[in-house]
Structures are given as structure tokens and as C-alpha cells.
Amino acid sequence: MGQRIIRIIKGDITEQEVDAIVNAANNSLLGGGGVDGAIHKAAGPKLLDECRTLNGCATGEAKITHGYNLPAKWVIHTVGPVWHGGNNEEDRMLAKCYSNCLKLAAEEGIKTIAFPAISTGVYHFPIPRAAEIAINEVIDFLQETPVFDRILFVCFNDETFSNFNRLLNEDKK
């Protein structure tokens, strides 16, 4: 059921024409490198102004802002865990990122959403492990709450794309 609406693509999350994109943010929500920096740059300075009113975000939680100059109407900010070897609840916290983003999107009536590979950049979460957590969380959420028309995983590079794509295709078998 859920697999029909889940797609894996290689590209730039800031260019996706969806209701909401997810920002792999830092705790301050005030911009940073990687996906976070790209989203802030593409959205323009009003995103930073709105983020200043949110008082940051705890790891695993999610907050929403307008998308401003992005094609997406909304940005859902979530703070993924920094990888410390896998024994500090990193898996659980990463799963919470995806589930909390999906819950918030569903509450807001969002029908299409694009995710980056949260925590796999400067936070060094292993890509195969992150991909498995992400896909499982999305499929589990869709089985309980089938409210989305399309969920994209937007992968920035070939390694991320191949890991996400392989896992999604294995799940269809």
C-alpha cells in the first residue's frame, strides 16, 4: 500500500514541488551547512526570521514554518541525532524525527512531503542504517495513518540514492 506513494529520487530538496519539505536542522534552527544551509538560502531571509521565533528544537522533535521563496509551502524542521557509535539511542531518535515530521504534516493537512536523508551528512549517521530506519518509519506510519498522496526521499548523492532505493525495492518483494 504505502510503497506506491513512496518515491526515491536523486536531486535537490529545495526544488521539489511538494506541500512540505523537511529540513535536517540543528538545534538552534538558525541555519547551518548541508541541507539546512541550502534550505535557508533558497527560502530567503524570512525563513530565518520565523525560525528565530521558535526557540530552537530538541533532537527528534519537529517544528513547522512557511516555505517563503521555496516551491514548497511549508518547511518542517527536525533535528536528527549525531552519530556516536550507535549506543546512545541514535536509532530511536532518528525514528522519532521521521514519525514526528509525519505527525505534524498530517495535523497540518499536508498531502505531499519530501525528506532528506536526516543525520547522514555532518552528523555521520551510517547511510544504510539511516535508510532502513527512514523507510520503516514511513511505511509504519502510512499503515496506521494513510493520509499522504506522495512521500519523497530526496537523495543528494549516488550512495544515498542506491541505499534508499535498494531498501524500498526489497520491501516491495
Q: How many whole angstroms separate alpha carbon 156 and alpha carbon 15?
A: 12
Exposure letters 45-63 (e unless 16+ CB within 10 A, then b): eebeebbeeeebbebbbbb
Angle between helices 90-107 and 127-144 (to 10 degrees): 40
Which of 12, 19, 36, 140 is catalytic? The answer is 36
Residues 6+ apart with CB under 8 A from 70: 14, 21, 39, 42, 43
36 is catalytic: yes
Contact between 77 and 52 under an 8 Å Cβ cutoff? The reply is no
Q: Residue 5: what residue type?
A: I
Q: What is the DSSP letter of 5?
A: T
User: What are the residue numbers of the active site?
Assistant: 36
